Structure 1
Amino acid sequence: MVTVVLNGIMIAATTHAIMLHEEGYKARAYIPREEVIGTLKRTTRTTHCPFKGDATYYDVIVSGETIADAAWSYDAPFDEMAAIEGHVAFDDRFDISVG
């Protein structure tokens, strides 16, 4: 089970997360977008990863508070990373537990 919590509020909980381990980075849990409990609002921010493709970012809205560009996903990842399509990852402002 992977859970994502902010200030004691559950944002996501799933048994379907994909754990991505990239050299030089901490492991990230990619959670199916439909299993996110919190509200995601797409922003204009994008970045490019040479291994995964182009990322789109989301504000996360929790109890009326907006956490800017706090989550991201790959809508059309490279073939080698196709499994993370439709999944979202959260940044370090969230408490993410894997267990």
Structure 2
Amino acid sequence: MTKGHDITTEEIPRRVRLVFAGETIVDTTRARLLHETGIPPVHYFPRSDVRTELLEPSEQRSVCPFKGEASYWSIAVDGRRAEDAVWGYKDPLPERVDIKGHVAFYKDRIDEWIEDDTF
């Protein structure tokens, strides 16, 4: 890790649901919260808890020197779209295997973000 730049993840001990265009697209009790120096915390969700049939692959790519190459997806539900609203690292760098198989969502592109303390 670069001096002065830290990344840690933690399990979130609550149920998290994301809704877009009236459809629940994520429902999980296994989200992880990634903390990275200089960036607000980001929720990562196991792909197995995401309705991937509502996601369409995007041409968009980005590279993070600390996590690797990110792929993006758009959400498509009943004629509504949120372009490049989801990203994930198919093959993250070895230091970030804790987010392999997970995806993240831009909060401002989701209609409802619900976190419950009980599940």
Which TM bucket (shorter chain)?
A: 0.7 to 0.9
Q: Give the secondary-structure state (helix, strand or coil) at the position aligned to 2:36.
A: coil
What is the deviation of 1:7? 4.7
Aligned to 1:59: 74
The 3 A distance-change label for structure 1 pair 75 and 82 is: same
Q: Which moved more, 1:69-78 or 1:88-97?
A: 88-97
Matched AA of 2:46: P
- Counterpart AA for 1:70: A
1:2 touches 1:29 (CA, 8 Å); kept in 2?
A: no
Aligned length: 99
Note the residue ranges of structure 2 that are not aligned, 5 or more in a row.
1-14
Q: Moved runs in structure 1, 4+ residues, more than 6 A? A: none
Q: Could you tell me the TM-score, scaled by structure 2's length?
A: 0.74
Q: How far off is 1:32 after superposition?
A: 1.0
Cα RMSD over matched residues?
1.6
Partners of 1:64 and 1:11 in 2: CA distance: 15
Q: Deviations over 1:17-64 (max 9, x none)?
A: 111111222211111112112611111110001110000000111223
The answer (yes or no) to whether the contact 2:21–2:80 under 8 Å persists in 1 is no
Q: Structure 1 residue 90 and structure 2 residue 112: aligned?
A: no
SS at match of 2:92: coil
Post-superposition offset of 1:83? 1.3
Q: Tell me if the contact between 1:57 and 1:70 (Cα under 8 Å) persists in the aligned partners.
A: yes
Unaligned runs of 5+ in 1: none
TM-score normalised to structure 1 length: 0.88
3-state DSSP class of the match of 1:75?
coil
Match of 2:36 among 2, 14, 22: 22
Identity over aligned residues, as a percent? Answer: 38
